[in-house]
Amino acid sequence: MTHGFRPLGEDEIDAVIALWDRAGMTRPWNQPRADIEAIRANPKSALLVACADGVPVASVVVEDGGHRAWVYYLCADPARRGEGWGSRAMAAAEDWARAHGHTKLQLLVRRSNAPVMGFYEHLGYEENAVAVLQKWLDPERERAFRENPDAH
């Protein structure tokens, strides 16, 4: 994989979950271990990591969504921010999407997260005129979502 990113190794799962926790990526309604299992079980998705001194310091998930690909769980270790890991992660995601025949890459960002919005805008991403709609199919996960103050 390019830009120093490669698929997650089996022995790195706990370290990636710890990275996601440090980076504030986890949410009560999305269990990270279950997400990783689903990503790894899907042949049309990839969890890519970059390591420093043998420890994951950045990650990105890319998933085939038909004619577009989606990005999730992009993060860099807070102690390593400013070193370009996020930009390299997006470049690796873009390479993965191109290699899988996609012409568009999409992602979700909370509108309240101005620094992250700025990061993606700097990389050439823009908000489009499409609304994202959702319907919860799991009442327990919906409850966790609704009870979390940063859910919306």
pLDDT tens for each residue of 12-63? 999 999 999 999 888 888 899 999 999 999 999 999 999 999 999 999 999 9
Rg (CA), the chain: 15
Nearest by Cα to 55 from 74, 81, 30, 80: 80
Locate 44 and state its tokens: 């049309």
Pick one of 3.40.630.30, 2.30.40.10, 3.30.230.10, 3.50.50.60 as the CATH number of 2-127: 3.40.630.30
The pTM for the full model equals 0.87
Tell me how far CA of residue 135 lies from CA of 99, 130, 145, in angstroms. 32, 16, 12
Q: How far apart are the first and last CA of the chain?
A: 34
How far apart CA 144 and CA 140 sit, in angstroms, is 6
More confident residue, 58 or 108: 58
Query: Is the pLDDT reported for residue 151 higher than 80?
Result: no
How far apart CA 126 and CA 109 sit, in angstroms, is 11
